Amino acid sequence: MHQWGALVRVFAYLSLLTVGGGMAAFPELKAESVEVHQWLTFSQLVHLYSVGQLSPGPNMMMIVPIGDWAGGIVGAILVVLAFFGPTGLLTFGVGRAWNRLEAWPWRASIQKGLAPVSIGLLLAGCFSIAKGAIFGLDTAAIAVGVLLILLRYKVNPALLVLGGAAVGLLAYL
């Protein structure tokens, strides 16, 4: 399959952008998988990402179907290795060094400085996915409803995503 190399390159690159959460990589994920390589459509990407929030474990496992569609089961395995390998090694190395850097004054600076940037990247990712998910009053109401409920009450977010599916179905029926 000639897509295997591209899958590995793209997902290894994307993995390094996931500072603060998988959503931080969403704008580049869209650019690479929808626009450059055309492995899937934007609306399929939004659907997969959203359904992926219902799955347990790391919340970016929606990359598995992209790998499968573009390169079969080998593509799916390669995508997981590419997405978790480089950052895994980095975390392993930095995790060991980090304990020794406890007294290093820049350690706190790096943590404080990366916080607003990673929040900004999450927000940018959120705007990017909203373009494929918020189409009118009904969808906006679901998003705002989920936001308010989560800020107010301790609810399992997966239940609210299921609730969104129920509201979507009811609106259709």
Confirm or reject binding of residue 71 to another protein (CB under 8 A).
no
Burial class (CB in 10 A: 0-12, 13-18, 19+), 95: exposed
Confirm or reject binding of residue 55 to another protein (CB under 8 A).
yes
DSSP per residue, 137-162: HHHHHHHHHHHHHHHHS---HHHHHH
Confirm or reject binding of residue 74 to another protein (CB under 8 A).
no
Choice between 5 and 115, CB closer to another protein: 115
Confirm or reject binding of residue 41 to another protein (CB under 8 A).
no
Confirm or reject binding of residue 96 to another protein (CB under 8 A).
yes
Choice between 2 and 92, CB closer to another protein: 92
Q: With CB under 8 A as the rule, give the number of residues binding another protein.
A: 106
DSSP per residue, 58-125: STTTTHHHHHHHHHHHHHHHHHHHHHHHHHHHHHHHHHHHHHHTTT-HHHHHHHHHHHHHHHHHHHHH
Choice between 5 and 144, CB closer to another protein: 144
Binding positions for another protein, 107-126, rule CB under 8 A: 108-126
Radius of gyration for the chain, computed over Cα atoms and rounded to the nearest angstrom: 18
Confirm or reject binding of residue 100 to another protein (CB under 8 A).
no
Q: Which of 2, 38, 95, 100 binds another protein (CB under 8 A)?
A: 95
Token pair of 46 as six digits? 């939004």
Token pair of 121 as six digits? 């990247």
Q: Which of 5, 9, 36, 88 binds another protein (CB under 8 A)?
A: 88
Confirm or reject binding of residue 65 to another protein (CB under 8 A).
yes
Confirm or reject binding of residue 20 to another protein (CB under 8 A).
yes
Confirm or reject binding of residue 137 to another protein (CB under 8 A).
no
Calculate the alpha carbon distances from 71 to 32, 51, 65, 79, 168 in Å.
15, 21, 10, 9, 32
CB of 172 to another protein, least distance (A): 3
